[in-house]
Structure 1
């Protein structure tokens, strides 16, 4: 076929594509195609198994009687469309949850017809969003959710709690707060850590919580062995559930901190020398496990421990999941009803907690239903601080040394002097007592360790600060004086 005969094919494909699809780019420069009037968009270069734009373009041309075109014509037409789209306005793309107009948020139900849930403080309803308001990105991890039921009067929440084995009402309140937090696209939420004895149904409860947002195809998975695989899994879905964790190494712990509160990953684009691929991620996470060993302080502030207990009556998998699937529309409807109540509630923002957005959500939940979620959240953080201290010999030794500091006074020494004092205090408890593995070897190492422990020590009434004089740097430890009302009560 001559070159002149190829031009009409390229022109036909280009005209058809621009008449039936809207093309735009995201902030990272990826070009997406969105069928007119439909909220789901696909990257035009995608070759994924969930369907590529090239495939839907070929099907559309064939069904509309325009013929079957060879790969060269399609490639050349898409090259032109991609180049033209790079001059269009930037529009964000979302997976599962997205912000909307007028303070609303959207939940993608994963349906082929594009129907989604619009959540607003005035109520929620099911509709197809305007493609210019919301663009959904679908992957293999995007499962389909049933249409939620309206007017459930909280029955779905009662059914969910009967299916899970939470040990107390505080755990139930925090689980609900986390589910509502997962419906928000902007504010980070701590990662629930489902713990309990063997046979307590941790994996089952974790799957149920995930499937309320991700559909019945949502599941838990083993923690990937490297950072790149975990980031890939996180970017492809909304909630990332990791099952049966037995150890949290420093690298995985730091990566989880980034996933919960948000970070950016940059790597070299394939088959290029200088181009990069930029990916931003902030996703809800859920973890299960009996014990993960020592928890680092920065991750402890981003966890939400939920304890489960062994059920008294065992049920078959088929019976349990059959009941959950049947109840899911009612459960989702009840969670949406509660989310509307929470967003309409007015509450002060707690200023003493690291994840203030989630603490505010707990306060709003208490205003709406009086579940005691904020007190439960504070108690959970105290438990995690205890876990951190029990697993860190240095933290225990520092608190023991600080017990000699008078309330309202401070003790100031160089890092080397602090290291000598703490080492002496630890070794004098037993003759020739060896130092534990990981004990600081220099003043600089001690200073860095104390910076990680600073929030945990502050929660136990010990403030650590750094400064310098004209001659040297120092570390200052202070025990604040108790409030005046507590001093009066002491007398």
Structure 2
């Protein structure tokens, strides 16, 4: 009698699985299976459309002549494997980009053979990563990228800009800086907001930027109606691109801030009473639209406006995308060449900008190319400050009142006194009614001013708070001509 016939089916499956797969768990307790020598890992309980580990086992057992096993045997074997894996060391799984050993980073090409791009300080190459260095997790949103071309001499960057309608060279260099930031797993990057007149090719340019990182299957999508669906979409891919935004609710604005700089979502695990499911996320975000209305100050600090112009000559969709697909290996190769060059450049980190990692990347970009990305980034933030002020009557009123303060002077009052003061400034001699949304209490005013603090500081008005024996106060200072220190412009 054969040995397999003497052993229970669950033992045959378990022995086969442990011989052909490596099992490990992530920090949240999810158990993954990784085929020996292959960098892609799958959750052992997944039933996803990209293939489940259960299906892998069934196919492997059948092709290797071990037989076909019923569902009960497979379930019992997977239960035992999962229990054994919970005693193993934890290891993270990554989507699309990942940190590696010795300062290297990896880019998943989404290929079935597991070949990926290793970007290291001296260059980049295409290889299959060591499974203990990088574990890729793939979803339905993980598209396949072509093998990037070597020795492109920067031609790919020119090819990209020939296919898009960015308004000027400053906008183009910011777009490239953002793409380089997307290849860094530890670099929070601001969200490009592609804007311009109708017919400027915003959606087309957005798709091209996304597909350089996500492959030709990458696309734009409408903003989900609730935060839970947005987080699910963000967690399943690397670059999240939202198209044709015309209005931004406070909840959506706050969710976008969390996506750009990172946050954690905790919810009850399914079919349990007390267990929870944790999801950490920080992803590159891209937006397109003509006008989204009033932009909140905290989101403005995390945006990267990229303006486009209407093209003089129109082309068919088929012709445009065929040329882009042909050029994609060269574009990706040129981007990788430039990424290595930028990362090797030495530059000081600007200390006065919220997105300090991206500001440093822009400084490195300038050191490597002398294209002025950092100045362009500062100018874009200044434009966004203007947009915030134009959409906020309270900010306009504060700046109007600040004109009555001598340069270097300050005023200190309680929040309630400031509310009466600013209300009188807005109403003026005409006693016009206060607008909808105007603060109704001192506490509401204090909270609004905290949100506006970075915007007002960029216009020379510093807001601070404190407490004396008499109570809490708000202090408004009109900055002198001397530039402020980073501590003065930081949020309080």
Q: TM-score range by the shorter chain?
A: over 0.9
Give the equivalent residue in structure 2 for 1:453.
452
Q: Deviations over 1:343-362 (max 9, x none)?
A: 00000100010000000000
Post-superposition shift, 1:468? 1.4
Q: Deviations over 1:445-467 (max 9, x none)?
A: 00000000000000001110001
2:404 is the counterpart of 1:404: yes
Give the equivalent residue in structure 2 for 1:439.
438
Matches within 5 A, 1:95-244: 95-244=95-244
Give the equivalent residue in structure 1 for 2:461.
462
Unaligned 5+ runs, structure 1: 485-491
Q: Helix, strand or coil for the counterpart of 1:318?
A: helix
Distance 2:218 2:480 in 1: 51
Aligned residues of 1:6 and 1:73 also touching (Cα < 8 A): no
Q: Deviations over 1:406-443 (max 9, x none)?
A: 111211111111110110011115x2411111000011
Post-superposition shift, 1:121? 1.8
Post-superposition shift, 1:480? 2.4
Distance 1:399 1:113 in 2: 60
Distance change (3 Å), C-alpha of 1:290 and 1:73: same
Give the equivalent residue in structure 1 for 2:476.
477
Distance 2:17 2:191 in 1: 43
Give the equivalent residue in structure 2 for 1:305.
305
Post-superposition shift, 1:169? 0.6
Matches within 5 A, 1:347-362: 347-362=347-362
Aligned residues of 1:106 and 1:117 also touching (Cα < 8 A): yes
Post-superposition shift, 1:60? 0.4
Distance 1:5 1:98 in 2: 44
Q: Helix, strand or coil for the counterpart of 2:150?
A: coil
Distance 2:431 2:387 in 1: 28
Distance 2:433 2:417 in 1: 20
Distance 2:278 2:417 in 1: 45
Distance 1:72 1:420 in 2: 73
Give the equivalent residue in structure 1 for 2:391.
391
Post-superposition shift, 1:315? 0.2
Matches within 5 A, 1:70-109: 70-109=70-109
Post-superposition shift, 1:471? 1.0
Q: Helix, strand or coil for the counterpart of 1:463?
A: strand
Matches within 5 A, 1:224-373: 224-373=224-373
Post-superposition shift, 1:274? 0.4
Post-superposition shift, 1:282? 0.2
Distance 2:482 2:167 in 1: 35
Distance 2:118 2:358 in 1: 21
Between 359-368 and 473-482, the greater mean CA deviation after superposition: 473-482
Post-superposition shift, 1:7? 5.5
Aligned residues of 1:269 and 1:275 also touching (Cα < 8 A): yes
Aligned residues of 1:180 and 1:335 also touching (Cα < 8 A): yes
Distance 1:323 1:381 in 2: 34
**Under a length normalisation based on structure 2, what TM-score does the superposition of the two structures give?**
0.97
Q: Helix, strand or coil for the counterpart of 1:19?
A: helix
Give the equivalent residue in structure 1 for 2:24.
24
Q: Deviations over 1:310-359 (max 9, x none)?
A: 00000000000000000000000000000000000000100010000000
Post-superposition shift, 1:5? 8.1
Matches within 5 A, 1:14-53: 14-53=14-53
Between 469-478 and 249-258, the greater mean CA deviation after superposition: 469-478
Q: Deviations over 1:272-302 (max 9, x none)?
A: 1001111000000000000000000000000
Distance 1:349 1:51 in 2: 44
Q: CA RMSD in A?
A: 1.1
Q: Helix, strand or coil for the counterpart of 2:203?
A: helix
Give the equivalent residue in structure 2 for 1:11.
11
Distance 1:213 1:105 in 2: 14
Aligned residues of 1:148 and 1:329 also touching (Cα < 8 A): yes
Post-superposition shift, 1:51? 0.2
- Superposed structure 1 runs of 4+ greater than 2 Å apart: 4-7
Post-superposition shift, 1:6? 9.6
The size of the alignment, in residue pairs, is 480
Post-superposition shift, 1:481? 2.1
Give the equivalent residue in structure 2 for 1:488.
none
Distance 2:94 2:159 in 1: 30
